[in-house]
Amino acid sequence: MEAFEDVLGGVGMVDPVVDDGDDRIIVRPVSTKGEAKKARRLLIQEIADMGRATFPKDWINADDRFGPTLVGAFLDDRLVGAALVGPAQEYAAALSATCRGVWPSRLLDDALQLVGTEIAETPGVAVVPDHRGEGIGLRLKRYCDLWAAQHGTYLMFSRPTNKAARRLNEKAGHKVLEGDVSFVTQIIDAQDRPLTGVVRIDPARDGSFQAVRQLTVADGLMRRFRVGQYPAVSRMDGTDDDHAIRVGSGQIAWYEWDRSGTVRTVLVPAPRLEHDVSMGLRHVSMRS
Ligand SMILES: CC(C)(COP(=O)(O)OP(=O)(O)OC[C@H]1O[C@@H](n2cnc3c(N)ncnc32)[C@H](O)[C@@H]1OP(=O)(O)O)[C@@H](O)C(=O)NCCC(=O)NCCS
């Protein structure tokens, strides 16, 4: 417990309790098939592409294991918001599809095993329209982070698809990438030495950006994923300095979180990027 409290408890970043919201709202995993169906329906109705997410097979995660889990926000027993959280399956699938046959299979298996235990994903958060702007989305988001941390994961990925979701992620302490940069990952050892090449995920399309947050401290992990962006500088950050853009285009910015949950970036020269792991790629190949 201590390890994740170090990061999640820091500077008001993740507090599963309402800040100033309505304390009649209760956020918890769904506990009946009926609740699960309503939560799923809300997510699919409100978020494009949600239909292809992996929902819990048995509707309810009765054993509270690290698997796809539907979370609900309830007001007087009425579902007013929902989220889906679980292992980073979409990322694992993209990594597998792209690196299979390129990386030695043992390395890929190892990487996928690491994804399966270290990385969580929140494929969607939605609030019913007449209860938006009341802090419910933020509570759901924070609940998902806390749930993932309690289930031993180190990183949380999500894909905010609009401005409200971007702000929501930032408010919950996530680093949200601008649309003109790529998400990059690499496996490193306990001494921060690279164990794999840098894997690039294409800039998301259709205004769908990447967001990431470190949930727990990394102490004691022999190998872990680090995450960052390439190029290091985004025009959409408001940079209109061409020199900065030129210099940034040769660099990766790795994100590093301190124990208070604050993220900073560490700039390193970009090596030749080894693979493009595009979330889109998988969908293209599924259609063809
Ligand atoms: C995104 C969504 C879940 C936010 O839920 P919500 O309960 O309204 O959000 P909250 O009231 O908790 O707001 C939290 C923060 O998000 C940001 N935010 C929420 N709605 C926003 C909007 N319309 N525009 C800009 N920022 C917004 C704000 O920064 C807000 O904090 P602040 O008011 O203190 O500045 C909700 O708008 C929604 O269900 N949208 C449709 C589904 C969707 O697009 N989901 C996200 C894709 S994964």
- The CA angle 52-54-56, to the nearest 5 degrees, is 140
The tokens for 133 are 């702007």
From 168, 170, 208, mutation site for ligand 1 pocket: most ligand atoms within 8 A of C-beta = 168
Output the residue whose Cα is nearest ligand 1's atom 18: 164
Q: Which pLDDT value is given to residue 244?
A: 73
Residue 36 to residue 62: CA distance in whole angstroms = 12
> pLDDT, tens digit, for every residue of 115-156?
999 999 999 999 999 999 999 999 999 999 999 999 989 899
> pLDDT, tens digit, for every residue of 159-171?
888 999 999 999 9
From 44, 80, 138, 174, mutation site for ligand 1 pocket: most ligand atoms within 8 A of C-beta = 138
> In the structure, what pLDDT confidence band is assigned to residue 95 with cuts at 50, 70 and 90?
confident
Atom of ligand 1 lying closest to residue 129 CA? 39
- Rounded average pLDDT over 174-199: 87
Residues 6 or more apart from 93 whose CB is under 8 A from it?
Answer: 282
Helix axes 89-99, 105-118, angle to 10 degrees: 170
- Do 239 and 233 contact (CB within 8 A), yes or no? yes
How far is CA 118 from its chain centroid? 12
In DSSP terms, 158 is beta-bridged to 122, 211
Distance 135 CA to ligand 1 centre (A): 8
> pLDDT, tens digit, for every residue of 241-252?
777 777 777 899
From 14, 20, 127, mutation site for ligand 1 pocket: most ligand atoms within 8 A of C-beta = 127
Helix (H) or strand (E) holding 147: helix 136-150
Distance 165 CA to ligand 1 centre (A): 5
Helix axes 279-287, 89-99, angle to 10 degrees: 70
* Residue range of the domain that includes 180: 2-287
Distance 184 CA to ligand 1 centre (A): 26
User: What does pLDDT average to over the chain?
Assistant: 82
Pocket, ligand 1, Cβ cutoff 6 A: 46-47, 124-127, 132-138, 160-165, 167-168, 171
Q: What is the CATH number of the domain that holds 65?
A: 3.40.630.30
pTM: 0.88
> In the structure, what pLDDT confidence band is assigned to residue 284 with cuts at 50, 70 and 90?
very low
Output the residue whose Cα is nearest ligand 1's atom 38: 126
> In the structure, what pLDDT confidence band is assigned to residue 190 with cuts at 50, 70 and 90?
confident
Q: Which pLDDT value is given to residue 240?
A: 72
Distance 194 CA to ligand 1 centre (A): 37
Structurally, the chain folds into a number of domains equal to 1
The tokens for 214 are 């470190």
Percent of the chain past pLDDT 90, that is, above it, reads: 45
How far is CA 70 from its chain centroid? 16
From 80, 84, 167, 279, mutation site for ligand 1 pocket: most ligand atoms within 8 A of C-beta = 167
Q: Among 5-19, 98-112, 147-161, where is mean pLDDT lowest?
A: 5-19
